[in-house]
């Protein structure tokens, strides 16, 4: 299974004991969106196409 995102504490970083996993549909609103350029937009397009081709399921998070 896979998820869209994982969140961790800053500045300690990834720690299996306090990392949360979530998907795009779990986000109610975006408070701040940083710099986005053509390269970022192209990456998102490629990633979404790659995600559609996966044979493993996406984890459902309630």
Gyration radius of the chain over CA positions: 14
Residue in 2, 3, 48 with CA at minimum distance from that of residue 22: 3
Angstrom distance (rounded) from CA 20 to CA 8: 7
> Domain-by-domain residue ranges, the chain?
5-53
| Angle ∠(22,28,33) on CA atoms, nearest 5 | 85
The DSSP secondary-structure symbol of 56 reads: S
Q: What mean pLDDT value characterizes the chain?
A: 94
Q: Does residue 43 carry a pLDDT above 90?
A: yes
Greatest Cα pair distance, the chain, in angstroms, is 36
What tens digit of pLDDT does each residue of 7-32 get? 999 999 999 899 999 999 999 999 99
7 token code pair: 């969140």
Indicate the pLDDT class of residue 62, thresholds 50, 70 and 90. Answer: confident
């Amino acid at each position: 299974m896979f998820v869209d995102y994982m969140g961790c504490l800053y500045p300690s970083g990834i720690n299996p004991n306090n990392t949360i996993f979530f998907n795009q549909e779990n986000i109610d609103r975006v408070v701040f969106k940083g710099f986005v350029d053509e390269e970022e937009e192209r990456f998102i397009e490629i990633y979404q196409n790659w995600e559609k081709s996966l044979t493993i399921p996406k984890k459902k998070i309630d």
